[in-house]
Chains A and B, each alone.
Chain A
Amino acid sequence: MPTNTHTIRYNTGKKSLFSVHLMSVKFEDLYEFMVEGNVDDVNVLNEVRERIREQGRVWWALEASKGANWYLQPKISSNEGVISVTSLKLSVLTNTITLRRLIRKGVPPVLRPKVWLSVSGAAKKLSTVPETYYDELIRATEGKTTPATRQIDHDLPRTFPCHPWLNSDKGQASLRRVLVGYSFRDSEVGYCQGLNYVAALLLLVMKTEEDAFWMLAVLLENVLVSDCYTDTLSGCHVEQRVFKDLLAKKCPRIAAHLEAMGFDVSLVATEWFLCLFSKSLPSEFLMSILRFDKCLLQSFSLALRALNLEEMRTRIPPDAPTEGT
């Protein structure tokens, strides 16, 4: 939770109205999640919102000057690191750079579906299959029972149960189709617990089921470390090892502290990575920092940041004693 570590930064004059720091506030965020937090949390969220609003103005200005779909040009969505400069027109290159910079700063919520679909490569994936692919896939899976569908049915009511739409019959039917559809598309993954949270969030952002499905597909097949969700979760093991190395390098004190306590950080970090932080961060905050073009890098830096915040919050002393009794 983005709590008091942010307080100092956001303690501007107008917020001094909120002097009672323990006061709990409840409000609905952009994606209809009920958020409960203290005044500091609200301040952070307001700050994030304000930044996104400012970004929105930049996006609109660009749309006005370059046209609504300026970033949808074919080469733009290329995720490969090497772009042959000679094969690109200068304007396309500028657009690419502009887009990268803009995404780093956050995408306005209304544009998220379009931008995510394009930048992630999901649109490209979608364009290689017949238009009826999704509908046919869903029709083919109707009435079929597999271990995956059984587990999915078990998890549907347990996926953000407090969310009004996800808790409705309609929402659960949508989520079910996306997850079941994907379990048939990739039988090696089938269904892995955790994907329910990812898919649910994608549904809320992308608005249409089919787009959510393709976002899920591109994430699992192209963006994230491969085999994160397959039978042995081997990709997830790799991520955890990398994360541990990064932690030792970037936050040596935290790493040493955890080591001294004999605490394996993957015990908590596994959930962060497998659910793409959707279980551990408020959705609106999450959206504005999750950049799907660099999702993985982002995950690592997010996880590091989470631990850093925790260190500040709990103030681990330099040589934290770890007495047994």
Chain B
Amino acid sequence: MAELVALVLTLVQSEWLGAFWVGWGWISLYVQWITLTGAGLLCGLRRWAPPLPQSAALLLSYILLLVTAIGIGWGVEVLWPLPAEPLQGFLWRSTLAAAIIDLLVLRHLYVLGRWRNQVQAEAEVRLEALESRLRPHFLFNTLNSIIALVRVAPDAAEQALLDLSDLFRAVLQKPSSRSTLGQELDWARRYLALEQIRLGDRLEVVWETQALPADAEVPRLLLQPIVENAVYHGVEGMASGGRIEIKGQLSGGHVELVISNPRSGERRTGRGHGLGLNILKSRLSLAFPDTLDPVRVEVGDDGQFRIRLHLPYVTGRERVAGS
């Protein structure tokens, strides 16, 4: 890239072919000095640099590159007086050129980096779509319960099978598509109804979601994995059972949702809470790139585990109109 810059600079100022080759040689030497010194400094310093936010790192790199360019420009002017003729205001022109070119290069690297992160996040979300929906443990235990119900309570068995087929329809649909909060709450309710059959009195569920807008647009299968984790990592591991609370409200144009459950305190085998949470975070920051902290996780002194969702209230129609 540095050679291309040198070539452009030479093209702009040369008048005849001989001068072109000589000029290219000199300018290449100069540009390569600046490039190699700048790149070397950046790579060397990176090792000692504290972890910085991206914007600060970009600004610092930019300043460092400019200082390098000025330093070398000054060095050339002072120590190695070139033929005086074309070099009126050499340092100023060189610095300005470096400022513009560095800006372009950093911008290019920034866009490249963002694109790479985005591709990676999307790949992870897709992977999650394949493996995280409905644990086999849940499926086979639920089927076992339903088989037991068939004889003693046929109506309950029928209802359970209907809920199970709805859930599977949801899971098998295209993962990237969007859904509404009303739909998500419905799926979470069906899921918990099935868990209620398995766990009986041990599972208590409290819903306070009347104030939530059913038409808010959210990523598909947002809530079911959260309540599944609340059962799997919480209530199911406690001999005396526990309570899951799902509370929500609309405030300041945002949907606020809190899902809380007790923690059984035991590390259970299998996929941990941590991975599931990371996936949830990356899904939500992909869906709502402008929202700061769409997911917050709290562990209370009372041993309660809470997931707070803070999502902009957007309906499907608004999104289409807005874009």
| Chains A and B are bound partners | no
